[in-house]
Chain A
């Protein structure tokens, strides 16, 4: 299940700072669109507006043709949007399996059920185990999340996001802080998702971006300065000056 994402004239100001400056983007269904740009370019701010954590001052957000710009964040999830966070957001007192099973439970319907044991929801737990296996975390499924490593948390967040069965996946620096080996694993996992779900990827790891992305947009001071495929971006003079010239940070 995939859906296209359409951003139209998105603006967001924090006081005198323009974090998102008239951004229009269109991401084709099933493609992987990477957002790159120097630190402070407003990549996470843009992601937060699409996810609904921030409300844009102006502009429209359409997911699969439906205007989701006015919906609260939790409702956008029902429309097929899922995200991961730059700084992982997980439930530390629960096991990895619980974290994913909870996402499955929420997808299955409301949780105003007060008597039956949630952990005896076999369907949810079996599905959750499968998602954990898909991201390569099966061996940690009964570990408390407070006790698992940073890289594993990144993988767990991906499993949780997939458990909501998204049509659009927003990934905010999924490789940040991972070892080269873990990064490669993450790249392999994301490669498997291409075509199955629309992905917006914010990432500093240029090897990953050029390996995975169908299209790339470069954000500088909240503005999209260039959009194109890998070769276009490498060749773009403005991008070289603003970003690539500063080295791979």
Chain B
């Protein structure tokens, strides 16, 4: 993963603002902000929902990218945290609607803020538990163990009849926020823009911080890091927990967007999809997960509208992108003038 020279890039960049690259970034930001208005003009309201999904998956992919791209931990169970975040929202909502309490003492809530924080905590706690065991391994055993844990969580929720089991859990209405009408799709879109931007900035800070310096060092050469006095396990575990919280956040937003959670959210194929987004966009780059999530969601939507065998075409396109760009879409982006040569 030598494409990860992001850290070095920031050093070398002379950063003239008016480069093609700068223009592309500015255009992207403007497009994100103007999207609901544009959707109205072009009379395609579905675009807002699609963009909301892109942003939510982007948060999940960004969180995975921290451990997969920067930390070099090939975690194949990230959807578990995504699903747990979703279920945290769904379960709290159901108890709030029924006026009951979870496990008899945690009362439900339909406050988006509380539910999102709870979902992130659940994601972080689950990551702490799963990470503390699976990070004792590395390489292929690590992939298999994270997958196994995710499957355990998946089957737990399949068998949890109190919360819908296989059929999942419906939310009659979206959670609420003070001052903002989160039930309005445009407002909800902007909430997702805001949170995705926050997570992006948070990730950007982490990867260039002292912690990020160590995390990336561990990916590059664990022996070297031990030889300068680093205990790899604890740094990896903290990164794993942060990633779990991020996936929990994304899951909470997805549950609210769909007003529905089901074990499908934590199916292993969802973990694979998240990995695909990261790799497709460019592992170990900041913009990669965003580009990867957008590409995957849009391709799925467009292809599924054309043909029943859309997965075949999707596979071919993904294969072509990964093989031709070498380093993902972000690598293409970086070859624009103004980027790193």
Contacts and interface: CB of A to CB of B under 8 A. Distances in A.
A117 B206 CA distance: 8
A103 B228 CA distance: 6
A95 interface: yes
Contacts of B7: 93-94, 98, 119
B221 A117 contact: no
Contacts of B238: 112
Nearest to B223: A89
Given A93-B8, A94-B220, A119-B11, A106 B212 contact: no
Contacts of B209: 113-118
A91 B11 contact: no
B5 interface: yes
B5 A93 contact: yes
A72 interface: yes
B229 A74 contact: yes
Given A78-B229, A114-B206, A115-B205, A89 B224 contact: yes
A37 to B, nearest CB: 23
Contacts of B226: 53, 73-74, 77
Interface string B1-22: 0101101101100000000000
What is the interface of chain A mostly: helix, strand, loop, or mixed?
Answer: mixed
Contacts of A83: 227
Nearest to A92: B220
Greatest chain A CB density within 10 A among B206, B213, B223 is at B213
Interface string A77-113: 1100011010001111111001000110111000111
B2 A92 contact: yes
Contact of A164 (B2, B211, B213, B228): B228
A89 B11 CA distance: 23
B205 to A, nearest CB: 5
Contact of A77 (B216, B220, B228): B228
Interface string A53-68: 1000000000000000
B242 to A, nearest CB: 9
B156 interface: no
Contact of B228 (A95, A102, A115): A102
A93 B2 CA distance: 6
A131 B210 CA distance: 20
A146 interface: yes
Contact of B208 (A85, A90, A91, A119): A119
A179 interface: no
A144 interface: yes
Interface in B222-243: 223-224, 226-232, 235, 238
A214 B2 CA distance: 43
A115 B212 CA distance: 9
- Give the size range of B's interface with the partner: 20 to 34
B231 A72 contact: yes
A160 interface: yes
Given A102-B213, A113-B209, A114-B205, A93 B220 contact: yes
What is the interface of chain B mostly: helix, strand, loop, or mixed?
Answer: helix
B339 to A, nearest CB: 16
Greatest chain A CB density within 10 A among B10, B208, B221 is at B221
A112 B209 CA distance: 9
B213 A105 contact: yes
Given A92-B220, A93-B216, A74 B230 contact: yes
Contacts of B272: none
Contacts of B5: 93, 144
A112 B235 CA distance: 8
Nearest to B224: A89
Contact of A85 (B216, B223, B232): B223
A196 B81 CA distance: 52
B181 to A, nearest CB: 33
Contacts of B205: 114-115
Contacts of A218: none
A114 B224 contact: no
Given A146-B2, A164-B228, A111 B221 contact: no
Contacts of A146: 2
A55 B209 CA distance: 34
A103 B220 CA distance: 14
Nearest to B229: A77
Contacts of A224: none
A24 to B, nearest CB: 25
A49 to B, nearest CB: 14
Nearest to A107: B229
A51 interface: yes
A121 interface: yes
A53 B208 CA distance: 29
Contact of A91 (B206, B212, B220, B231): B220
Contacts of A117: 208-209
A82 B8 contact: no
Interface of A: 51, 53, 72-75, 77-78, 82-83, 85, 89-95, 98, 102-103, 105-107, 111-119, 121, 142, 144, 146, 160-161, 163-164
8 contacts: A90-B221, A93-B4, A93-B216, A93-B220, A95-B8, A95-B11, A112-B210, A160-B227
